[in-house]
Structure 1
Amino acid sequence: MPVISAPQAFNEDDLYVDLEGVFEHPLFLKCEGFNFAGSIKLKAATEMVEAAERDGLLTPGSVLVESSSGNLGVALSMIAANKGYRFLCVTDTRCNLATRKMMEALGGEVHVITEPHPVSGFLGARIDHVRALCASDDRYVWLNQYTNRSNALAHYRRTAPAVARQFPDLDVLFVGAGTTGTLMGCARYFRERHRPVRIVAVDTVGSVTFGGAPGRRMIPGLGTSRRPPLLEESRVDDVVRVPEADTIRACHRLARRGFLFGGSTGTVVSGAMEWLARREGRELTAVAIAPDLGERYLDTVYQSTWVEDLYGEDVLESRALAVASRAA
């Protein structure tokens, strides 16, 4: 049995859910939420903190500061508590209340940005706030998940090899695009090994990551209001953009079968099903990465009043994903 002394030392890396019985298309969902931080962001957080320590950027008395929509903030709160650092997370009003409370329970401080930048949205406003904090006190250390190569390196070293071990005949891998750390780390791993694995990025409608028009995005996690510096589009074979209403439908459909996943996972699953529906009849070994679980979304994605107020009363009436009809 595992015996650990640091919470970041445990992460279940080999759990998959077979979704064919739920969505009619064969897809294996790699579950990344079974660790003490509750999401895939634990890998990036651990890699970035350890690199900063090796480089001498983090020392006793340092205060970690990061911009996060939630999951990375929780992971850094946990690691900071374990290692004895202070941590300050800069987030915005879309961050789930449960996530904010979790960061505070772990000893983190949370600053909530309430006004978006006129051009670069909430993300730009959050980054401006982080920069102002760092300029005000040299104890602040910003790991900067948006440009930090250790973000992608974590998935090059861990996530992609874990998938390759379990699925040596993998045909297609679906990865959600936020900072694009997971996406770039996995894409680089498979490209360097000259394996014929198709890398499909899943983005949310309203994100500008792949050149889409900016728009309202209420579910934290995937999508950006400015192009991610880590992104190298040449490593991506296809992009699927998912409306948030379809994200919600996918989450609820999974929940009706007993699987409570987070909003980012709902987006990835919805995008994967749309892509697979266009290739009906082809036998493909397909894997999608599920970044998070659903407990932190009980007051949003799984709360009927919140859903109906933002997306309309009929958003959950259909028993089938809207993407099925769009792809037909």
Structure 2
Amino acid sequence: MPVIKAPQEFNVEDLFIDLRAVLGTALYLKCEGFNFAGSVKLKAAAEMVAAAERDGLIGLDSVLVESSSGNLGVALAMVAADRGLRFVCVTDPRCNTASRRLMRSLGAEVVVVEAQDANGGYLNSRISHVRDLCASDPRYVWLNQYANPGNWRAHYLHTAPAIARSFPGLEVLFVGAGTTGTLMGCARYFKERGAPVTIVAVDAVGSVTFGGVPERRMVPGLGTSVRPELVDESWLDDVVHVPEPDTIMACHSLAARGFLFGGSTGTVVSGASRWLAEKYPGEEPVAVAVSPDLGERYLDSIYEEGWLRDHFGRLDLPDRPDRSERP
């Protein structure tokens, strides 16, 4: 029976979904959304805060500040509440309403930066605002998820070993690329051990993380308008870029079978399915994809008809399975 004293102490590590019946592809999905923050970002938040405390960077009057599109902000708000610390999340208009409300419910201050950067995104603008806050008052402590080694270390210590335990014969691992913390932690773990695992990064079209051309991106989560300092392509074997309409189609295909996941998961599943079809036609390698979060926070966006129509026009979404002939 699990008994915890802090919300970040609980996370389900051994839940995987066999997506063969949904996708027609042999792919296992590691579900990271079953913790009190609702996403894989709780691991990074807990590790980065703990490391900052060990290093003496956080005092009683410190104010944590971070740039986030949503999930890490929620996770840091939760850890800060547990530690009795103030937290300011600097986000942008793409951050969904549910995430903003969650952060505020946990006692965080949420600042929405409206100015786009030169790449048409918001990351540079968010980081600039964070830097201005830190320059204005020494109490602000920026954990900097884009460069903080605690970000990837959390997944090196927890996420990757959990996958290795469940799938000792793993052949291909798909991980989405946002800050690249999950990606780099998992890649380092398997590569350092000489495991014969192909590491495939999944990114959004319009992201500049792997040298892509910057474009408008509406789904928060994966992709960046500024290359993260953590990324090191020498640990990776391949990169897949997924258009946002494909992300939405994958989300709705999963939802049609009762699995409601977030936009990042839709991107990873779509990219993994395409990559496996191209690289292993007619074969079934042991393949795992990491699902960062669940779908409840996206009900007002990728699962809302008006939002989809406004941003993507008419999409030919998958039909719900016909159950009319079932007894």
SS in 2 for 1:175: strand
Aligned mates of 2:314, 2:217 — CA distance in 1? 18
Distance in 1 separating the partners of 2:199 and 2:320:
29
- Structure 2: gaps of 5 or more residues: 322-327
SS of corresponding position for 2:223: coil
Counterparts in 2 of 1:174-323, with a 5 A limit?
A: 174-278=174-278, 279-316=280-317
SS across alignment from 2:249 = helix
Q: Which letter does structure 2 place at the counterpart of 1:85?
A: L
Deviations 1:114-156 (A, max 9, x none): 1112247300000000000000000000000000001000001
Q: Which residue of 2 is the match for residue 323 of structure 1?
A: none
Q: Which amino acid aligns with 2:146?
A: Y
User: Which SS does the other structure have where 2:210 is aligned?
Assistant: coil
Determine helix, strand or coil for the equivalent of 2:112. Answer: strand
Q: Partner of 2:168 in structure 1?
A: 168
CA 1:245–1:119: 2 relative to 1, 3 Å: closer
Q: CA deviation at 1:3?
A: 1.4
Q: 2:98, 2:297 within 8 Å by CA — same for their partners in 1?
A: yes
Residues 30-109 of structure 1 aligned to structure 2 (within 5 Å): 30-109=30-109
Query: If the length of structure 1 is used for normalisation, what is the TM-score?
Result: 0.96
TM-score (norm 2): 0.96
The superposition leaves residues 138-183 of structure 1 with CA deviations (integer Å, 9 ceiling, x where unpaired) of: 0000000000001000001100000000000000000000010110
1:59 deviates by: 1.1
| Runs (4+) off by over 3 Å | 317-320
AA matched with 1:227: R
Q: Check 1:218–1:120 CA distance in 2 against 1; reply closer, same or farther (3 A cut).
A: closer
What is the CA–CA distance in structure 1 between the aligned matches of 2:12 and 2:284, rounded to whole Å?
A: 28
Q: In 2 relative to 1, CA 37–87 (structure 1 residues): closer, same or farther, beyond 3 Å?
A: same
2:325 aligns with none
Measure, in 2, the Cα distance between the counterparts of 1:117 and 1:163.
Answer: 37
- The CA deviation at 1:282 is 2.0
Amino acid at match of 2:303: Y
| Residue range with higher mean Cα deviation, 227-236 or 167-176 | 227-236
Q: 1:168 to 1:88 in 2, by over 3 A?
A: same
Mapping of residues 104-143 of structure 1, within 5 Å: 104-119=104-119, 121-143=121-143
SS in 1 for 2:224: coil
| Compared CA separation, residues 317 and 288, structure 1 to 2 (3 A) | closer
SS in 1 for 2:78: helix
What SS does the aligned partner of 1:121 have?
coil
Q: Distance in 2 between matches of 1:309 and 1:315?
A: 15
Contact 2:253 2:318 in 1 (8 A): no
* RMSD, aligned CA: 1.2
The answer as to whether partners of 1:66 and 1:130 remain within 8 angstroms in 2 is yes
Q: Kindly provide the CA deviation profile for residues 183-238 of structure 1, in whole angstroms up to 9, marking residues without a partner as x.
A: 00000000010011000000000001111110000011000011111011111111
Unaligned runs of 5+ in 1: 321-328
Whether the 8 Å contact between 1:206 and 1:215 is mirrored in structure 2 is yes
Greater shift after overlay, 113-122 or 287-296?
113-122
Q: Is the 8 A contact 2:252 2:318 kept in 1?
A: no
Question: Which letter maps to 1:311?
Answer: F
CA distance in 2, matches of 1:88, 1:162: 32
Q: Which secondary structure does the structure 1 equivalent of 2:150 belong to?
A: helix
User: Counterparts of 1:259 and 1:283 in 2: how far apart (Å)?
Assistant: 22
Distance 2:319 2:277 in 1: 18
Pairwise CA distance, 1:301? 0.5
Paired residue secondary structure (2:122)? helix
Cα displacement string for residues 241-272 of structure 1 (whole angstroms, at most 9, x for unaligned residues): 00000100000110011110000000000000
The one-letter code matched in structure 2 to 1:150 is G
Q: Give the counterpart letter for 1:31 in structure 2.
A: C
Maintained 8 Å contact 2:70/2:96: yes
Distance 1:30 1:257 in 2: 17
Q: Secondary structure at the match of 2:290?
A: strand
2:119 and 2:171 mapped to 1: Cα distance?
39
State whether residues 58 and 141 of structure 2, in contact with CA within 8 Å, keep that contact through their aligned partners in structure 1. Answer: yes
Q: Which residue of 1 aligns with 2:150?
A: 150
**What CA deviation, in whole Å up to 9, does each residue of 1:262-311 have, x standing for no partner?**
00000000000000111212230000000000000000010011112111
